[in-house]
A and B are shown apart, each in its own frame.
Chain A
Amino acid sequence: MIGPLSLCVLGPLLLAALCLVPVRAGLPRWLAAAGSLLTTVVGGLALADFAGHPGADFRFVEAWSWSRYYGASFGLGIDGIGAAMLLLSGLVTLTATIAAFDQQRAPRVYHALVLLLLAAVNCVFTAQDLLLFYVGWELVLVPMLFLIGVFGGEQRRYAALKFFVFTLAGSVAMLALLLALWNATPPGMAKSFDLQQLAANWQVWRDSPFLGGSLAQFGFLAVLLACLVKLPAVPLHTWLPHAHVQAPTSVSVLLAGVLLKLGVYGLLRIALPLFPGMAIASAPLLAVLGTVGILWGALVALGQRDLKRLVAYASVSHMGFCLLALANLTAAGATAAVVQAFAHGLVSPLLFLLVGVVYERAHHRDLDRFGGLAQPMPHFAWFLLFGALAGCALPGLAGFVGEFAALQSGFVAGAPFAACSAVATLAPVLAAAYLLSAYRRVATGPLRHAEHANFADLGAREWAALLPLAVLIVLLGVWPRPLFAAVGESCAVLVQHVLGARP
């Protein structure tokens, strides 16, 4: 019996194949919309279920045996964290599909790739089996390679290959980990890749020697590397600005809204539960890495002239909050990391869409060559102001909820975390500086160029992509409780498991 989760994984795959059937040129975009809508509905229902009946259990569980020999299964299931991520993946893909609804270049291929990406991402967010998780994790690379490399800008090929090789290098280490885990399972124990069983056996990994250290040490570093590349954390972030600048708008939306979340999810699902001892030991280091990312991203964003690079570095800064929050190993911190990831998954796509709106009209993104766009495009200017305010964590909007929760959890968690959080408090101030100044340079003042006066304001497609995101940003800003309720229990149990490893 096929359940809702396998529908979210296999459905997009099937739709991707259908996209390539040359029937009607207009069909693929509807198929992509259907696939992402399906994910949104399943994710939304699951999140509502967890919000209504909080619990740390896994729901919608399905399992088919895949390999007896390896103990691998096609096992799917989600807890609150997975539900939030699934909903986000559906929402963002839907937005990206709307943004690319008039895709002119090879629409069949484009939408098929988006659907393949959706399937792979959903596979990661719902996998209960480490091998399946890894398959999805790797499979994400292939459609992304083509989405950037085929549909991107001038230097798209370089950006695509850099993205692929960076993330592949990260995941090769994870492959070694999978093998080592399977190998280290003691003879009396059934070999398995079941994530919950792997987490329950954390002491085995701690006590298994591996390459002169313990398996847990190696494993934690491997997962950390793979996840920090995706997150991205400074200094492993250098692929991100390239990829974003070269990617078309809709692909940037996917990259910022979904792909970066894989890093947070991987840390929460693999690194922390399987290697809790290492997580405790390296928590201060992670907090420092997060803080460095927050400040580095913000400071570099201050110096950007290219609007899209600015938003990309803002992403680096905002995703740093996830790492900072998760590092303090409290229930509140882990919850804040998920909420901040969700909030960033709404705000950043909104900003990238707005960059796309300007770029489509002006064909450049140079901040110094704009000015006064609020006159021909008032609605756009309002959205840009709204996005900038959401980005610099104005209370009442989504960004505030995530960042406040992250900082607050840090302040009460102990000296090193409080210090990091105190430093990180600068970030919203810096964000206000770079985002509001970008707004000022783009939208306010007199019109710099006469031809800008002819720019049309937002069209129907742009409204359709922007408005739902804006509504959700406000909704999450004023009523975050359902999300906290749905995620909280799972995070509390996770942290309890991690702290159980304290000597």
Chain B
Amino acid sequence: MIAATMALPLPAALAGLLPEGLLLLGIVAVLVLDAVPSPGRARRAPLLGLLAALGATAAALLQSPVANGGMLAFDAVAHLVRPVLAGAVALLLLVRFGEARDARGGSAIENGAIENGALENGAWTTAVLGIGFGALLVATADNLLPFWIGLETISVASYALTAWRADRRSAEAGMKFVLFGGAATATTLLGMSHLYGLTGRFDFAGIGAGLAAGMPLPVTVALLLASAGAAYKLTLVPLHFYSPDVHEGAPATSLAVITAVPKLALGALLVRALPVLVPQRLPGGGGLDVVLGNGLAMAAIASLLVASLTALVQRDAKRIIAFSGVGHAGTVVLAMSGLPDPMAGATVLYYLFGYAAANTGALLCLAVLERRQGDTSLAALRGAVREHPWVTVALCLFVFSLAGVPPLAGFFGKWSVLQQALALGTGDPARPLQLWAVGALLLSTAIAAWSYLLIVRAVVLGGDASLASDEVPGRPVRRTVPLAMTFVLVALAAVTIGLGCWLDCLPTLGGALRP
């Protein structure tokens, strides 16, 4: 294995790790400097983190894909995803930086949905950088070990961010997350140890070779166990049910960090790992890719239907977003069922880029609205448009993208997944489930539209304080939003519209992934 790590000359390998290194450096700097009391401390931690994340983004952007990097693969997938991950972390830290500055000026944050103590800023920055570090590691992993380290880093930081608010609901959500996440990662570890025992390898290609050489059944069982961690992070049915409770309890700003970024990293990992893990031909004949494809399609159908139907009865915007996440995860694995075709990989990434932008944007908008009454139940969100007209417009845009209204990113993401599944289903009689999955996706789109509309209805149409009623006494209080938050929301909205209008993004990604 040491030989494998040394496949690249040391300076090149270190250069490849520059983004991760910069994030680690940021974590260390924040932790050390946070111990030194000084007047500007509140702003310093987010600023340092922001600089580290920007540096990591630039470093990831400037790297060129390398064929073989040992335990880590600096391939086309990593090349496409790593700058996006680091950039997302930078945007989220920018939000925090803006709020820290505003808190110092004494505006914007009224009731302490996020406490702005200097120490809190340091800890928050560390957690976010940690998630960024873990995500980069997962997205680059070509081996179970870095995958595991990355996954655990993300998980531990996520637990902390979930239980961030010092109230019962937040603590309860954090506890639930710890217990469930612990069980899921323990299962993963069990599967990994079996994989190592059966094949003697930790790298994906080696495991795939072991699988092709024989023992398909035990290895398949071990693989299933090992994939539990990925399924739980993606919130696939039946490993999804912690997610709504975590969403309800955790502050929306934390959710913006712990939902989309890890999913994108995992998507990248699976796009790389699945084609090599699962050989095209088994010794006895028959393609495991078809078996895998059907399995993924089945998981997709379950997730889509459960998510869209359960979302209908939710009365909290964050819970609706949680079930939306379950449904979108189902769509992503449907896209994965087309692997090892590079276009399927491109579809996964295109879909996840659009999802990440819309989901993060929606949660950030909810983070702003959450501060009005301390929670995001549909009743509490009523009439938000009067106080925050522009944030509400942005929220509607992101929600419409999640619902799949053209010409937004969510629509063309769904479109490309549907198109691929339809082509697979009609082209290959061994994949009948693809067509059922297409049906499930269309049906769940129509059903889920209603639950997305519940959010729109609450913020725009709802309540006596809605836009339409004349009887509201006095002028509405227009609250200001920090400049940094505005900038981030505008950037995410631009991505949501831009990805939607740039239809050739998908073939471009596909071209980049083609070996």
Q: Point out the residue from A67, A146, A157, A183 that lies within 8 Å of B423, measured CB to CB.
A: A183
List the B side residues contacting A210 at CB < 8 Å. 426
Q: Point out the residue from A105, A135, A157, A183 that lies within 8 Å of B470, measured CB to CB.
A: A105
Q: Point out the residue from B422, B435, B445, B504 that lies within 8 Å of A67, measured CB to CB.
A: B504
List the A side residues contacting B422 at CB < 8 Å. 179-180, 183
Cα A66 to Cα B423 in complex, Å, equals 22
Are the C-beta atoms of B457 and A161 separated by less than 8 Å?
yes
Cα A150 to Cα B457 in complex, Å, equals 9
Are the C-beta atoms of A149 and B442 separated by less than 8 Å?
no
Cα A430 to Cα B438 in complex, Å, equals 46
Contact string against A for B residues 54-89, beta-carbon threshold 8 Å, 1 for contact and 0 otherwise:
000000000000000000000000000000000000
List the A side residues contacting B449 at CB < 8 Å. 164-165, 168
Q: Does A104 contact B (CB under 8 A)?
A: yes
Report if A105-B467 is in contact (Cβ < 8 Å); known contacts: A175-B442, A179-B418: yes
Q: Does A463 contact B (CB under 8 A)?
A: no
How many residue pairs at the A-B interface have CB separations less than 8 Å?
Answer: 87
Are the C-beta atoms of A142 and B400 separated by less than 8 Å?
yes
Dominant secondary structure at the A interface: helix
Q: Point out the residue from B446, B456, B506 that lies within 8 Å of A168, measured CB to CB.
A: B446
Q: Point out the residue from A109, A138, A141 that lies within 8 Å of B467, measured CB to CB.
A: A109
Cα A288 to Cα B442 in complex, Å, equals 30
Are the C-beta atoms of A68 and B406 separated by less than 8 Å?
no
Are the C-beta atoms of B446 and A157 separated by less than 8 Å?
no
Q: Point out the residue from B405, B415, B423, B446 that lies within 8 Å of A169, measured CB to CB.
A: B446
List the A side residues contacting B405 at CB < 8 Å. 138-139, 141-142
Q: What distance in Å separates the Cβ of A159 from its nearest Cβ neighbour in chain B?
A: 11
Are the C-beta atoms of A161 and B419 separated by less than 8 Å?
no
Q: What distance in Å separates the Cβ of A173 from its nearest Cβ neighbour in chain B?
A: 8
Q: Does A172 contact B (CB under 8 A)?
A: yes
Q: What distance in Å separates the Cβ of B429 from its nearest Cβ neighbour in chain A?
A: 12
List the B side residues contacting A202 at CB < 8 Å. none
Contact string against A for B residues 405-427, beta-carbon threshold 8 Å, 1 for contact and 0 otherwise:
11100010001001100110010
List the B side residues contacting A151 at CB < 8 Å. 468
Are the C-beta atoms of A172 and B446 separated by less than 8 Å?
yes
Report if A165-B450 is in contact (Cβ < 8 Å); known contacts: A67-B503, A139-B407: yes
Are the C-beta atoms of B426 and A183 separated by less than 8 Å?
yes
Interface footprint category on A:
35 or more
Q: Which residue of A lies closest to B343 (CB)?
A: A69
Cα A160 to Cα B426 in complex, Å, equals 37
Are the C-beta atoms of B504 and A69 separated by less than 8 Å?
yes
Are the C-beta atoms of A150 and B506 separated by less than 8 Å?
no
Cα A69 to Cα B443 in complex, Å, equals 27
Q: Does B379 contact A (CB under 8 A)?
A: no
Q: Which residue of A lies closest to B423 (CB)?
A: A183
Q: Does A182 contact B (CB under 8 A)?
A: yes
Are the C-beta atoms of A150 and B467 separated by less than 8 Å?
yes
Q: Which residue of B lies closest to A69 (CB)?
A: B507
Give the residues from 127 to 166 in chain A that come closer than 8 angstroms, CB to CB, to chain B. Answer: 134-135, 138-139, 141-142, 145-146, 149-152, 156-157, 160-161, 164-165
Q: Point out the residue from B400, B418, B450, B468 that lies within 8 Å of A150, measured CB to CB.
A: B468
Interface centre among A66, A141, A151, A175 (most CB of B within 10 A): A175
Q: Does A72 contact B (CB under 8 A)?
A: yes
Interface centre among B406, B419, B438, B446 (most CB of A within 10 A): B406
Q: Does A176 contact B (CB under 8 A)?
A: yes
Q: What distance in Å separates the Cβ of A288 from its nearest Cβ neighbour in chain B?
A: 28
Q: Does A23 contact B (CB under 8 A)?
A: no
Q: Does B461 contact A (CB under 8 A)?
A: yes
Cα A164 to Cα B448 in complex, Å, equals 12
Cα A158 to Cα B400 in complex, Å, equals 19
Interface footprint category on B:
20 to 34
Contact string against A for B residues 444-474, beta-carbon threshold 8 Å, 1 for contact and 0 otherwise:
0110011001001100111000111010000
Q: Point out the residue from A138, A141, A175 that lies within 8 Å of B418, measured CB to CB.
A: A175
Q: Does A211 contact B (CB under 8 A)?
A: yes
Are the C-beta atoms of B504 and A68 separated by less than 8 Å?
yes
Are the C-beta atoms of B461 and A156 separated by less than 8 Å?
yes
List the B side residues contacting A168 at CB < 8 Å. 446, 449
List the A side residues contacting B411 at CB < 8 Å. 138
Are the C-beta atoms of B504 and A160 separated by less than 8 Å?
no
Q: Point out the residue from B406, B442, B445, B468 that lies within 8 Å of A105, measured CB to CB.
A: B468
List the B side residues contacting A183 at CB < 8 Å. 419, 422-423, 426
Are the C-beta atoms of B460 and A149 separated by less than 8 Å?
yes
Interface centre among B445, B446, B470 (most CB of A within 10 A): B446
Contact string against B for A residues 264-307, beta-carbon threshold 8 Å, 1 for contact and 0 otherwise:
00000000000000000000000000000000000000000000
Cα A135 to Cα B504 in complex, Å, equals 16
Cα A154 to Cα B449 in complex, Å, equals 23
Give the residues from 460 to 509 in chain B that come closer than 8 angstroms, CB to CB, to chain A. Answer: 460-462, 466-468, 470, 503-504, 506-507
Cα A160 to Cα B443 in complex, Å, equals 20
Q: Point out the residue from A139, A145, A180 that lies within 8 Å of B406, measured CB to CB.
A: A139
Are the C-beta atoms of A150 and B460 separated by less than 8 Å?
yes
Q: Which residue of A lies closest to B450 (CB)?
A: A165
List the A side residues contacting B435 at CB < 8 Å. 211
List the B side residues contacting A105 at CB < 8 Å. 467-468, 470
Cα A72 to Cα B506 in complex, Å, equals 14
List the B side residues contacting A146 at CB < 8 Å. 460-461
List the A side residues contacting B446 at CB < 8 Å. 165, 168-169, 172
List the B side residues contacting A157 at CB < 8 Å. 457, 461-462
Cα A135 to Cα B500 in complex, Å, equals 11
Cα A20 to Cα B507 in complex, Å, equals 36
Are the C-beta atoms of B457 and A172 separated by less than 8 Å?
no
Q: Point out the residue from B400, B442, B461, B506 that lies within 8 Å of A172, measured CB to CB.
A: B442
Contacts A67-B503, A135-B406 aside, 17 further interface pairs with beta carbons under 8 A come to A66-B503, A68-B504, A104-B470, A105-B467, A109-B467, A134-B406, A142-B405, A146-B460, A150-B461, A152-B468, A157-B462, A160-B461, A165-B446, A172-B443, A173-B442, A179-B419, A183-B426
A selection of 27 A-B contacts at a CB cut-off of 8 Å is: A68-B507, A69-B503, A69-B506, A72-B503, A104-B470, A105-B468, A135-B407, A138-B411, A142-B400, A142-B405, A149-B461, A150-B468, A156-B461, A157-B457, A161-B457, A165-B450, A165-B453, A172-B445, A175-B415, A175-B418, A176-B418, A176-B438, A179-B419, A179-B422, A183-B419, A183-B426, A210-B426
- Interface on A for B, CB 8 Å cutoff? 66-70, 72, 104-106, 109, 134-135, 138-139, 141-142, 145-146, 149-152, 156-157, 160-161, 164-165, 168-169, 172-173, 175-176, 179-180, 182-183, 210-211
Query: Which 4 A-B residue pairings sit nearest by Cβ, starting from the closest?
Result: A67-B503, A69-B507, A135-B406, A149-B461
